Homo-oligomer: A and B are copies of this chain.
Amino acid sequence: MNDCNHWIETLQAHGYRLTRQRRLIIKILEESHEHLDAETLYDRVRACDESIGLATVYRTLSLLKQVGLVEEHRLGAEHSHFEATPETPHYHFTCRHCGRVIEFAAPEVLNVARELSAREGLHVTDVHLFLSGCCARCQKGETE
């Protein structure tokens, strides 16, 4: 659970400084196993440190993404959501009605990427599979 050390070491290994703000953001991000957007993360972080700035949240997210510790997802919304990079990759379904996000694994997808890479001589660094539609719950209640 408290694997902050790994994050911190990674940051230092890349030559980045360990600030109070970064420590806090890392803690919140790793505690939460959700898909947070910048604003939500900002609110949670403020609950601990009133003085932190939104720009710092964005800067830290982009830094963590750069070193591979977090992933950025476009879950259908106009803004981004972030989550700690999982050990095994997974993908997302979002319900257009209630916004619920369902995660799922799909090993086939990496094969697709691998075959394409081989055929076209590409170096694929990111694979995003995103489904959307109507979740089981919303198909009954209709316009929940």
Contact = CB atoms under 8 A, between A and B. Distances in A.
A106 interface: yes
Interface string A106-124: 1011011100110011111
- The quantity of this chain's copies bound in the complex is 2
Contacts of A128: 128-131
A120 B141 CA distance: 16
A103 to B, nearest CB: 10
A136 B120 contact: yes
B125 A104 contact: no
Contact of A132 (B95, B120, B125): B125
B129 A116 contact: no
Report the contact-size class of chain A (Cβ under 8 Å from the partner).
20 to 34
A131 B136 contact: no
A38 to B, nearest CB: 15
A14 B71 CA distance: 40
B112 A123 contact: no
B131 A124 contact: yes
Contact of A108 (B95, B108, B124, B133): B108
Contacts of A54: none
A113 B132 CA distance: 10
A44 interface: no
